[in-house]
Structure 1
Amino acid sequence: MGNTSSLLLREDEIAQIQEKTGFTPNQIERLYSRFTSLDRGNCGTLSREDLLRIPELAINPLGDRIVHAFFQEGTGDSSINFLQFMQVLAHFRPIKKNKDLKLNSREQKLKFAFKMYDLDSDGKISRDELLAILQMMVGSNISEEQLTSIAERTIFEADQDGDQMISFAEFCNALERTDVEQKMSIRFLN
């Protein structure tokens, strides 16, 4: 019989989501089942708290920042629907040659990663923002002095215009030789 939650998605909805995200119908149905299991209020949306109940996000030091990325800046929205959920997940789809969607292109993956560091959403990563992210990632495993040194050296090496911050273009240049496509890809329900 299958999962009853998958019956709630119509074929045209699945086709629309597939077109916008690149996920297969089977992946969409399985992710919809996961989405509905997280939807404690049965209202067809997820809140920040719902997303933070995902065990992998709950233990991730950047879990809160990742959850923040699910919500559009400036809208004040406190919940997301299934299509919005899928569009964020699409950033993490592996890139397939000749079938690349804009959402999971190298540039979009870099924009998503940049947003993780740009805490105040001003389009620049400051030393303090970088330091805050490093503290989230390593906790108390490294001294404050060492973290400050790492943040300052990173800014020094990436900052090309001398403003003591990292712009998106500088961020991209710093990651030029990094296989972002591989590092920011998750195999979804194969």
Structure 2
Amino acid sequence: MGNTSSMLTQYDIEEVQEHCNHAFSQQEIVSLYHRFCQLDRSGSGFISADEFLSVPEFAVNPLAERLLRMLDGLNFKEFVAFLPAFSSRTSLQQKIEFIFKVYDLDCNGKVTFDDVLNVLRDLTGSFMSEQQRQEVLTRVLEEAGYTPDSSLTLPDFMKILGNSDLKMEVEVPID
């Protein structure tokens, strides 16, 4: 499985399926493997940041740089393990865990006001002033029972986002 030129065996498919907690069917895993091989232009068995950025939809994503931190250098198994956050079969809790990782840039298990503010900057660009972003974020945190001085942990994120209807789904086309 390390070399993208080889074909997946049934064992490989089942192993990857287990690794991603059955978020994808066997057919979807085969399709993802073909897409992985297309992205891995160097044939190294890993996808580099530049190869990810060759996908136009990814390159224009305002969170692309944050996602690249999580994606750069993934092999196929790791690539598929990254994707369940975007599966309709994934629980809300798993999606929130993924979002938390995107916000927790320094991987210290805490998200600060500044961490969330940085994401808001990425998402809003010039459409909001810095003052507007700070006011909105302060209001949202206060409504959830937190202050701008709070450091949010994963359980805090669960509390804040636990009743939301997150739509983070990408359909995997079957070849």
Q: TM-score, normalised by structure 1?
A: 0.79
Greater RCO structure (CA 8 Å; 6+ sep): 2
Residues 56-107 of structure 1, C-alpha deviations (whole Å, 9 max, x = no match) = 111110112223233xxxxxxx511100000111222112xxxxxxxx3322
The whole-number CA distance in structure 2 between the counterparts of 1:158 and 1:112 is 20
The whole-number CA distance in structure 2 between the counterparts of 1:120 and 1:157 is 26
The whole-number CA distance in structure 2 between the counterparts of 1:126 and 1:148 is 13
Which residue does the alignment assign to 1:178?
164
Which residue does the alignment assign to 2:74?
80
Superposed displacement of residue 25, structure 1: 2.2
Superposed displacement of residue 125, structure 1: 1.6
Q: Secondary structure at the match of 1:8?
A: coil
Superposed displacement of residue 48, structure 1: 2.0
Aligned residues: 169
Percent identical residues: 34
Greater fraction strand: 1
Q: Give the letter aligned to residue 31 of structure 1.
A: L
Which residue does the alignment assign to 2:128?
142
Which residue does the alignment assign to 2:69?
68
Which residue does the alignment assign to 2:173?
189
Q: Which runs of 4+ in 1 moved over 6 A?
A: none
Q: TM-score, normalised by structure 2?
A: 0.85
Gap regions ≥5 residues in structure 1? 71-77, 96-103
Q: Say what the alpha-carbon RMSD is for the aligned residues.
A: 2.2
The whole-number CA distance in structure 1 between the counterparts of 2:132 and 2:62 is 19
Gap regions ≥5 residues in structure 2? none
Q: Secondary structure at the match of 2:172?
A: coil
The whole-number CA distance in structure 2 between the counterparts of 1:166 and 1:150 is 17
Structure 1 segment 161-176 matched on structure 2, within 5 A: 163-176=149-162
| Matching of residue 156 in structure 1 with residue 142 in structure 2 | yes
> 1:155·1:166 contact (CA, 8 Å) conserved in 2?
no
